[in-house]
Amino acid sequence: MPPCSADHGGLCIAPSTGLLFLLLFSFLATSTTACSNGNCQVLETCAAATDCGPGLYCGNCPASGRNQPVCTRGQAIVPTSIINRLPFNKYTWLVTHNSFSIVDAPPVAGVQRLTFYNQEDTVTNQLRNGVRGLMLDMYDFENDIWLCHSFKGQCYNFTAFQPAINTLKEVETFLSQNPTEIVTIIIEDYVKTPKGLTTLFTNAGLDKYWFPAAKMPIKGEEWPTVTEMVQENHRLLVFTSDASKEAQEGVAYQWKYMVENEAGDPGVRPGSCPKRKESKPLNSKSASLFFQNYFPTYPVEAEACKEHSTPLEQMVGTCYKAAGVMPNFLAVNFYMRSDGGGVFDAVDRMNGQVLCGCSTVSACQAGAPSGSCKNISVPTRNPVTNNAGSFTGSVQFSRSASILYSPNRLDYRVAEASEVDSYHEGPRMYQESVEVCSTLPYMAGSRPLE
């Protein structure tokens, strides 16, 4: 290599120094072109939520061996915003299991909560983030109707969350502010008060949105189109697990209109999709709605991001084969936890295949023939690293619900540090209000909280 000379405009760089200079320049060039300030997309590396684009947050998934924070989806694509005018039963809707069972839910006077939790976000934020189905357990309690987990079929202080009307008023506010949206409520019903449910919904202001049970198809026929439902303001579907309520109060009996797979661990067991005992066979032609449960018996927050990756994709395929149709509802715990796309990607794929014959609903084109798909790039997953570390993602918990919602960006708070829950035999994200008491009978018994 020739020695350094002064023929380069006075800039003389020794070979080793020149190499360092080039490396530094390359690093600076890479750094200046790296995404940040809201430009990062799904699965791109991030350092903070503000690096990620609209509808994304910055998080990782140690349970899947992914410790490098990446931009992760936190908001669904509402399929009717792309393809509408089709029957309601052609769509797949995201549902939250025990929607009311929220980590860090504000305390209620006289109630000392000691139970499992299934969600991390308020019902209002769930709806804003694209959830369109709520699973609610309702009981007679304290001379009112409450949302509770059950313990031997009863609502007690340590399983009670709040009066049901509080959550239903959140639904009413959402429907009134979003006049083209449709919400489904599935009630695990232990209410014995005569006319208790209809009075509750009327008091919450939801009766004006009620889809009459008398208009629901009972022999597997097509449902009205989503456009017709919006035009008639029939934008709230309510189903009960109590068969007597349809005749007594006009509340649709769930298994008259839909089939459902088994909930809990049987519903996440690979290669198997058994029906729930109350349900008709999953491939029955006399029901036009298919409800898929996908959540383990005991909810573990830190494991949800792993559950919502490849295992979810495989279980959707298994249940599709068992039923012969795509699920209309997909019910999950901790809906925002994933290693990138999660339940949002799964629902997009289901809607894309049915609504337009495309791999994802974002590739659909309104008015175009089936199979006419836009070219949508699919991000490549980051390489798997080791599985040490703790969750460092940013998730909007209920205590941050006072943050104003922006249609252009979701504002998230950073989660607490992970600890180890010996009962669940794995990592679990603890919040200040989460307490588990191993002396309670249900902890050692065979029947979990509903």
Cβ-based burial of 380 (10 A; exposed 0-12, middle 13-18, buried ≥19) = exposed
Is there a contact between 110 and 157 (Cβ–Cβ < 8 Å)? yes
- Each residue of 362-411: pLDDT tens digit? 999 999 999 999 998 765 544 333 322 223 333 443 333 222 222 222 33
Phi, psi angles (nearest 5°) of residue 254 = -50, -50
Tokens coding 350: 């289901």
Tokens coding 329: 């509802």
CA nearest 449: which of 65, 153, 62? 153
Q: Domain locations in the chain?
A: 49-444
Phi, psi angles (nearest 5°) of residue 140 = -75, 130
Average pLDDT, rounded, for the chain: 80
- Each residue of 338-372: pLDDT tens digit? 999 999 999 999 999 999 999 999 999 999 999 99
pLDDT-derived band at 114, boundaries 50, 70, 90: confident
Please tell me the distance from the alpha carbon of residue 240 to that of residue 46, in angstroms, as a whole number: 43
- What architecture is domain 49-444? Alpha-Beta Barrel (3.20)
Strands 258-260 and 144-148: unpaired
Tokens coding 11: 């800039």
